[in-house]
Structure 1
Amino acid sequence: MSRLALWLPLVLLSSAGHAEGIAPPPVQLAADYQQQDASLYRVSEKLDGVRAYWNGRELLSRNGHRYSAPEWFVANFPDTPLDGELWLGRGRFSELSAAVRRYQANEAEWRQIRFMVFDLPASELPFEARLTQLKRLFSRHDSAYLELIEQRLLSDNAALAAYLDEVESLGGEGVMLRRRDSLYSPARNPDLLKLKRFQDAEARVLAHLPGQGKYQNMLGALLVETEDGRRFRLGTGFSDQQRLQPPSVGTTVTYRYRGETAQGLPRFASFMRVRNDMPQQP
């Protein structure tokens, strides 16, 4: 992002004004961390950004659509492929998403964006050697819009847990682990791992919102309100039976989520259960 529920199909225009589609770039995808030995990996923050692939000429989305980045943004990029994410900063995913989806670039918005690079796809070397190549490459290409993500060496899994705590305390969403001896593989790679924690919280049901399509005549989403007055729709995590018999208005439900938006609303909120152990408000 990565970037799930709010990601809509991206169709960008060429300078001639026509929709332009390109074959999806050969990016590798992450598996979930399962208590592997952290000392065998390089570890970086999992950025709250939008995946991007520089093919040496233009920036592409994971699905092969061209981002309408201004020419000055990519002017000093190298002519070799780079894998990374477009990023505005922690907690600014919504702003970033809006900026990079525009048919015509808003230059003021793009001046705040950085292309954060984490790999060198065309190299056939192991990741540790690719990282050395990247550092040399970056020393020759001076761009205010191109940055190399910090890749840490950690001594053990306790150090990994401490680093995850550090990232989350700063508003980050998790960490990525890249096995130091792994090759770049344009598929789901078991040597590339993601680690993040779900958060959970409670909210009171205010209303049932009707479903559409396959959920017609069923629950589409719950309108809920947190204890501090924030309201949002909770539309995923329900079984079909729960959509037919949703939690009653006034019920307190537990949901899980991954961080918050710039507006303070939970990101990727998903229903977990009814809190039967808490008093319900009318």
Structure 2
Amino acid sequence: MPPKSPSVSPSWLLGLPALLSTGLGGQVLAATAPIQAVAESAPTLLLARELGPDVSPAPYLVSEKFDGVRGLWDGRRLRFRGGGEIQAPAWFLAQLPTQPLDGELWLGRGRFDEVSALLRRGDPADPGWRALQYRVFELPGGEGNFEQRTARLAVLAPPDGAGPVRAVAQFRVADRVTLQQRLQEVVAGGGEGLALHLADAPYLTGRNGLLLKFKPVQDADAVVIGHVPGKGKYAGQIGALRVRNDDGQVFLLGSGLSDAQRRSPPPLGSRLSYSWRGQTDTGLPRFATLLRLRDAGT
């Protein structure tokens, strides 16, 4: 049987000509732009959707999904996803090409908190930078399809190179059984999951179905937009956070908050990651639980 179509909704497929004619899918990004209060507008990036249960991986290039801090290099500055500039050492920046890059600043599997702390300190002299890698997976604005851009990226930053900049290795997976096996291997080794990028996709930004993530637990990011007072045992504290995710959905997030976070909740504008299981009848995340806080700029 031929592989099923990629996980791109029919409505998005109908809108593809308009996206291509306008260049970058700005309609998707416009809804999320006001969410983050940053000194500089956030860069436009491609964002991942969850892999659907009936999607064949055959049309995609697959890679490990590195759990680091997203970093966008414009040829001159290294910036957070939220728009702020990353205070990187001059020696580190000197090893980056003039070609714009998109990737993850990464210390290793299971070490997200260490990466976050290093970047939060904002000290270019911090010795932690010596172990940091910039795992890059895209050439922003690059010509050709994703498979062609990936080939150029592998020449620009070899995956097994000695420097901090390394292209993320991409591979093909023929079916869901093999994909599940690869996921189990990555997770067993301490990895987060897999990313699937449509091989023949042009360079576009937004959350449009070209990029999918495959993880044991569904998760996503959101921004804190309000604090809801607690009741009963949480009286005088925070009962829940009112958050808005990257799809513009607003809901309450109460599970997963520590006692310290209830006493001193994350400020408005803070980014966080949450997990969920399924959706409510209104399409909101069901059983949403706080996973961790992210830096405001990331």
Normalising TM by the smaller chain, what interval? 0.5 to 0.7
Tell me, what secondary structure is at the counterpart of 2:152?
helix
Question: Which of residues 56, 78, 91 in structure 1 aligns to 2:75?
Answer: 56
Please list the CA deviations of residues 172-200 of structure 1 after superposition, one character each: whole Å capped at 9, or x if unmatched: 1111000100112121130100111129x
Number of positions where the alignment pairs a residue of Structure 1 with one of Structure 2: 204
More helix by share: 2
- Residue of structure 2 equivalent to 1:268: 291
Gaps of 5+ in 2: 1-35, 219-225, 241-252, 258-274, 277-288, 293-298
C-alpha displacement of 1:99? 0.3
Query: In 2, Cα distance between the equivalents of 1:22 and 1:79?
Result: 21
Amino acid at match of 2:133: R
1:214 partnered with 2:232:
no
Separation in structure 2 between the aligned mates of residue 25 and residue 143 of structure 1, nearest angstrom: 28
Post-superposition Cα deviations, 1:17-66, rounded to whole Å, max 9, x if no partner, equal xxxx3332221111110131111111111111011101111110111100
Aligned partners of 1:148, 1:83: CA distance in 2, in Å? 10
Per-residue deviation, 1:158:
1.0
1:27 and 1:105 map into 2 onto residues whose CA distance is 25
2 CA distance for matches of 1:58 and 1:184?
Answer: 21
User: Of the two, which has the highest radius of gyration?
Assistant: 1
**What is the CA–CA distance in structure 2 between the aligned matches of 1:48 and 1:42, rounded to whole Å?**
18
Paired letter, 2:195: M
In the alignment, what sits opposite 1:253?
none
How far apart, in 2, do the equivalents of 1:10 and 1:111 lie?
31
Partner of 1:26: 44
Q: 1:138 aligns with which of 154, 157, 168?
A: 157
Cα gap change, 1:153 to 1:185, in 2 (>3 Å): same
Is contact 2:69–2:104 with CA below 8 Å preserved after alignment?
yes
Judge which range, 179-188 or 213-222, deviates more.
213-222
Structure 1 residues 216 and 235: alpha-carbon distance in aligned structure 2, compared to 1, 3 A threshold = closer
Paired residue for 1:90, among 66, 84, 109?
109
Distance in 1 of aligned mates of 2:98 and 2:149: 16
Tell me the distance in 1 between the aligned counterparts of 2:99 and 2:200.
21
**Matches of 2:40 and 2:77 in 1, distance apart?**
11
**1:67 counterpart = 2:86:** yes
Measured on the aligned residues, the alpha-carbon RMSD in Å equals 3.0
**Residue 128 (str. 1) matches residue 147 (str. 2):** yes
SS in 1 for 2:210: strand
C-alpha separation between the residues in 1 aligned to 2:256 and 2:132? 33
1:235-268 per-position Cα deviation (integer Å, ceiling 9, x unaligned): 4279xxxxxxxxxxxxxxxxx79xxxxxxxx981
What amino acid is the match of 1:214?
V
Q: Distance in 2 between matches of 1:39 and 1:99?
A: 38
Deviation at 1:106, TM superposition (A): 4.0
CA distance in structure 2 between the partners assigned to 1:134 and 1:177 by the alignment? 17
CA distance in 2, matches of 1:120, 1:180: 14
Following superposition, the deviation at residue 107 of structure 1 comes to 2.8
The aligned residue for residue 99 of structure 2 is 80
Output the CA distance in 1 between the equivalents of 2:200 and 2:167: 19
Q: 1:97 to 1:160 in 2, by over 3 A?
A: same
TM-score normalised to structure 2 length: 0.62
Q: What is the percent sequence identity of the aligned residues?
A: 39
